[in-house]
Homo-oligomer: A and B are copies of this chain.
Amino acid sequence: MKINTALFGFGRIGQMHADNLNHHQSFNLKYIFDIDKKLKSKVRKYPNCQFINNYKISLADKKIDLIFIATSTATHTKYIEEALRHKKYVFCEKPLDLNLDKIIESKKKIKKNIKKVQLGFNRRFDPGHADLKKYLVNNKIGKLEKIIITSRDPAPPSIQYLKSSGGIFKDMMIHDFDLSRFYLANDPIKEITATGSNFLRMYDRIKDHEIASVIMKSKKGVIVVINNSRHASYGYDQRVELFGTKGMVISGNKHINETELFNSSTTSSKKVLPNFFIDRYQDAYKLQLDELSKLCNYNLIPRSTFDDGLEALKLAEAAIKSLKLKKTIKL
């Protein structure tokens, strides 16, 4: 039986999810909800899918199993709560919210059904990044000692987006905080120090950071370094390195193809990196749906939960505090 799904939010990321849900054999995309009525025409390409302007229609529909939330961040917890009240399964895009208190409050309300929520930390599902976890679990690199994550967007989003993004730590590094926690598993982060830097004045004006780095330390002593940038001339730079007592594993950048050019000024010159997350994490988004189908069908705890969303935001908050106070923050 297919999982009857209502998608909330039909912007750029919502449209990608709609395509993926439509192609996936386990899901039946029944409703697409968006407040922007102009998007209605774009729904036509999904057979048997209805555009709704009032999300409550889908909540009231007993046949709907799953609410898939890709709306603006501030609405996430509200929709999660309502969906769970209507006994639906929930998928929610990251971040849960920009306000930590609001998430903690929300958590209390949904306590009983919190296991029915999967959070959209797509990078945990990337074949390369996920493979590092396997190397680690299978003891191929011994005891974990260090994690280094480099994550650079090809170009900054619009200034409008940036202003309401919550800043580089909550908007962008949130992924890397989560990925660190994915590898650390039961070993919690205990302290964090953050630095940021601006070269274009625009970032000063909106009180954000163009590039940022943090060093964290886990309870067991693992050091985690994260390097972020809002721009990278050569494309979407996504690398993870795990260093352990017996070895090191690296998940490197994907290229759009495996061609190399050799001439009088270069050798082994490869193509620029895929530009942007929809291309780079194409497989991850699909594998994330596989996991979601297991949650809906068998109640299997997903690789990425509501609590993961909460904990990642705590780290982002601590980073912001560290940068402000110029000191290491204990967690």
Interface residues of A (CB under 8 A from B): 23, 25, 45, 127-128, 131-132, 135, 140-143, 145-146, 148, 150, 152, 191, 193, 195, 197-199, 210-215, 217, 221-223, 225, 227, 229, 231-235, 237, 243, 245-273, 326-328
Contacts and interface: CB of A to CB of B under 8 A. Distances in A.
A98 to B, nearest CB: 24
A242 to B, nearest CB: 10
A272 B267 contact: yes
How many identical subunits does the complex contain? Answer: 4
A248 B232 contact: yes
A221 to B, nearest CB: 4
B217 A197 contact: yes
B233 A264 contact: yes
Contact of A234 (B140, B150, B248): B248
Nearest to A143: B199
Contacts of A193: 193, 195, 215, 328
B266 A267 contact: no
Please indicate which of the listed interface residues A211, A250, A251, A328 has the most CB atoms of chain B within 10 Å of its own CB: A328
Contacts of A152: 243
B251 A258 contact: yes
